[in-house]
Amino acid sequence: MSFFGFGQSVDVDILLNDADSRRRAEHKTEDGKKDKYFLFYDGETVSGKVSLALKNPNKRLEHQGIKVEFIGQIELYYDRGNHHEFVSLVKDLARPGEVTQSQAFDFEFTHVEKPYESYTGQNVKLRYFLRATISRRLNDVVKEMDIVVHTLSTYPELNSSIKMEVGIEDCLHIEFEYNKSKYHLKDVIVGKIYFLLVRIKIKHMEIDIIKRETTGTGPNVYHENDTIAKYEIMDGAPVRGESIPIRLFLAGYELTPTMRDINKKFSVRYYLNLVLIDDEERRYFKQQEVVLWRKGDIVRKSMSHQAAIASQRFEGTTPLGEARTPGPLSDSGNRQ
């Protein structure tokens, strides 16, 4: 939270009405630190108070007006002067006059549109914040409070698997498959690599998650690639006919939803990069885009239902809750 204004004779604070009940979410700041901010979704009302506390109760505060704004803006790091505001709402709290005692001003921004998710990246930042301003002749007193916005999606209707045969002619032919093309942020990538032809000496294989942040338009497009994860899926030399499984849990990595052409200013896209390395450190790779999306939290089902699902996956386990009576070994011995 930033705090401008000198000659502070007054402390300004912005407080939300639902501060007790509203959830907070962690969000990375520009310098890499993680902070918690109040979490909002699209369409939610933002209401609260701006409280003024006079430092010296005997001194009056003359002002040219008090207002509070709700702002959503995109800031490109290479062009800091120009903030692009895509949401800008203002409420006047007080006409020019005097503040003689500490007081609070209520405000409400009803059903505010928040079309994009908050994002702090390498070259661009998208943020939402409340800004309270006390206008004065020489210098304003300004207080900002950042909030975090998440955009939620539901399970996509169409979510086909990605399956492709790629290779280098007469050298290396593989077929790779990923079970979906769209994954939510806590999802699992389940896939496999099938070797059709192996005429090179492979040493190991890994799968990387690459984030590509694209800023700028036309001739000034700039891509910033960042390898978020490297996950070895095979160690050793495969031969023809071998299948290597992939199981990559996304919840362990710092990921955001795929953001496409946000306000025509930037994009954030994710790619899976399958890399095979041979014994002379040569790298053979295939990149494939995956769409990431944010799932809303669901109410957890009862534990027994979850256990029932889990047990169906493994042959021979007994679901919890079934009575197990001790008996001769031949009866219970077949359970794994």
Partner 1 sequence: MSDTAVADTRRLNSKPQDLTDAYGPPSNFLEIDIFNPQTVGVGRARFTTYEVRMRTNLPIFKLKESCVRRRYSDFEWLKNELERDSKIVVPPLPGKALKRQLPFRGDEGIFEESFIEERRQGLEQFINKIAGHPLAQNERCLHMFLQEEAIDRNYVPGKKQLNFSLEAGRQRLTKIFEYSSYTQGKSKSSHSKDGLATL
The binding site for partner 1 (CB under 8 A) comprises 155, 164-174, 177, 179, 186-188, 190-192, 194, 196-201, 237, 239-243, 245, 247, 278-287, 298, 300-301, 305-306, 309-310, 313
Q: Residue 130, Cβ neighbours under 10 Å: how many?
A: 22
Question: What distance in Å separates the CA atoms of residue 6 and residue 12, rounded to the nearest whole number?
Answer: 12
What's the distance, CA 124 to chain centroid? 14
Question: What distance in Å separates the CA atoms of residue 287 and residue 304, rounded to the nearest whole number?
Answer: 40
Residue number with CB closer to partner 1 (67 or 182): 182
Question: What distance in Å separates the CA atoms of residue 65 and residue 224, rounded to the nearest whole number?
Answer: 43
Q: Could you give the dihedral angle defined by the CA atoms of residues 253, 257, 261 and 265, in that order, rounded to the nearest 10 degrees?
A: -60
β-pair type (124-135, 119-120)? antiparallel
| Closest approach of partner 1 to the CB of residue 21, in Å | 24
Residue number with CB closer to partner 1 (53 or 196): 196
Give phi and psi for 280, each to the nearest 5: -105, 25
Residue number with CB closer to partner 1 (136 or 203): 203
Residue number with CB closer to partner 1 (93 or 174): 174
Look at residue 264 and give its three-state secondary structure.
Answer: coil
| Closest approach of partner 1 to the CB of residue 164, in Å | 6
Find, among 29, 228, 14, 291, the residue nearest to 148 by Cα.
29
Residue number with CB closer to partner 1 (98 or 281): 281
| Closest approach of partner 1 to the CB of residue 216, in Å | 19
| Closest approach of partner 1 to the CB of residue 236, in Å | 12
Measured between alpha carbons, how far is residue 299 from residues 66, 151, 159, 188 in Å? 42, 18, 23, 20
Residue number with CB closer to partner 1 (53 or 303): 303
